[in-house]
A and B are shown apart, each in its own frame.
Chain A
Amino acid sequence: MLLIDCPWCGPRDEIEFHCGGQSHITRPEPFDQVSDEEWGRYLFYRINPKGVHYERWAHDAGCRRWFNVARNTRTHAILATYKMNEPKPDLSAEGRA
């Protein structure tokens, strides 16, 4: 069971949340000059690392707000939670699992 530290509500059980996948994805612009390959990459391609993953979560059963989680996909250890508009924390010291 994950204990997720919502930046708004504090630590809560994982059943209150759902994961929205990889975070920090930027929509390609301008839209009328984006190739099919780039759209496909934006919509479907993901880093999917075995190690530190920066991902979005929503606190469905709490504040219902989105935020970011840095989590190790091999151990499930949560390394940081931070607000949607904050930059990625530097976790290079944690390394890739």
Chain B
Amino acid sequence: MGRYSALRVLTEGLKGQTGWGPAWRSVRPKPRYDVIIVGGGGHGLATAYYLAKKHGVTNVAVLEAGWIGGGNTGRNTTIVRSNYYYPQSIALYDLSVKLYEKLSVDLNYNVMFSQRGMIISAHSRHDMENAERLVRGMQINGLDVRMMDRAEIAARVPALDCSPNARFPVWGGFCQDRAGPARHDAVVWGYARAADSLGVDIVQNCRVTGFRKNETGRIIGVETSLGDIACDKAAIVVAGHSSELGRAAGFELPITSYALQAFVTEPIKPTLDVVSWSLATGVYISQSDKGGLVFGGALDLYPSYAQRGNLPIGNQVIGAIADLYPSFGRVRLLRHWAGIVDVVHDSSPIIGESPVPGLYMNCGWGTGGFKAIPAGGLLLAHHLATGQPHPIAEPFQLNRFHTGALIDEAAGAGIAH
């Protein structure tokens, strides 16, 4: 299909746009692969890409039950950031931010990563104390976050009600300047195109229904809606459906699936050029390149696979947005949806071996998987190719749920994520 470039746009224009081919092949699966990735979301496609690119493992298939990027990668609010609390998390998420910074060049595909900054506002003395604690912790761990006073926040986020009579008065806050949104579909399509060009087979509409093992219990293949496919190794990279796939392979996981809602309004003129997050309400908002206000908040706190949000949480999130940004109160909602997220007790991911030999997994990202796509892919590819966890992924193994070495970001960051 050739590289994308300004020159290519020009020459295709002169040739009447006749030279563009599909960005990736549509294939029937081969009978056998070295590695099968179950799940064609961002993490699965990134795993396949880094396997091929960094480790030369190109006999790889990505099997997707629906269409690629049709699950959580197409349902998130696209924020990339690394302002986590614990050193293990910062190493992981900052690796991802750094990979995102170079991703458009790496993939030859514009993922529109816009490092416009993320501003987190504090609305009480207690919020401020929490913000100070978080920021000092992150700074000790080498992250470039900084405290902001109310005047700076009011100047950077004019839509935010910073008046003394505000429902949620702004006391101050903190900022990560390198954070910002990326285009979710472009991340999926970019990884798919780049992986495909290295020889990876991407098979859509192929549902994995079971796993085949030999007499020692080692994985030797997967059962799919398109028939059995043999493999040396397989990886489950399916976010909210990890428990179901794990059960098909014969094990349970410390995961509960919840619905996380997101909302987008009708497009309006540019009004918000940062990602704005409120500590007191847990809601966050940014403006897309098309003009829509994209926002979200808390989980629907009962287990769900329904991919739709409930009204009480929707009401709470929209109400908080209208209180925090009064001028947005009359903007009409365009769409509202939910993704099924895989929440673990410490809100940190699981990247590594499963209880079944030869079967690996990347899950447990909960509400924050999109930001970590490049890192999740890179780290799982390392483990699949070398048989050893990457040093950054070492703390994020499944055994932490019985050794007790949890990385408790649920308590650490003090915010829903």
Contacts and interface: CB of A to CB of B under 8 A. Distances in A.
Given A44-B345, A49-B243, A50-B305, 19 more contacts: A2-B310, A19-B301, A36-B402, A36-B404, A41-B252, A43-B345, A44-B401, A45-B252, A45-B253, A46-B243, A48-B243, A48-B252, A48-B253, A48-B256, A50-B241, A50-B244, A73-B257, A73-B303, A74-B306
B214 interface: no
A71 B401 CA distance: 27
Contacts of B312: 1, 14-15
Interface in B213-253: 241, 243-244, 252-253
Contacts of A59: none
A64 interface: no
B10 interface: no
A43 to B, nearest CB: 8
A92 B344 CA distance: 28
A76 B312 CA distance: 15
Contacts of B306: 73-76
Contacts of B404: 36
B402 A46 contact: no
Interface residues of A, number: 29
Which 3 interchain pairs have the tightest Cβ spacing?
Answer: A40-B402, A44-B254, A19-B302
Query: Interface size for chain B: under 10, 10 to 19, 20 to 34, or 35 or more residues?
Result: 20 to 34
Contacts of A75: 306
A76 B344 CA distance: 21
Interface string A43-84: 111111110010100000000000000010111100000000
A37 interface: yes
Contacts of B403: 36
Chain A interface helix/strand/loop/mixed? mixed
Contacts of A15: 312
B114 interface: no
Interface string B373-417: 000000000000000000000000000011110000000000000
B304 interface: yes
Contacts of A40: 254, 401-402
Interface string A75-97: 11000000000000000000001
14 contacts: A1-B310, A37-B402, A40-B401, A40-B402, A41-B252, A46-B252, A47-B252, A48-B255, A49-B243, A49-B244, A50-B241, A50-B305, A73-B303, A97-B305
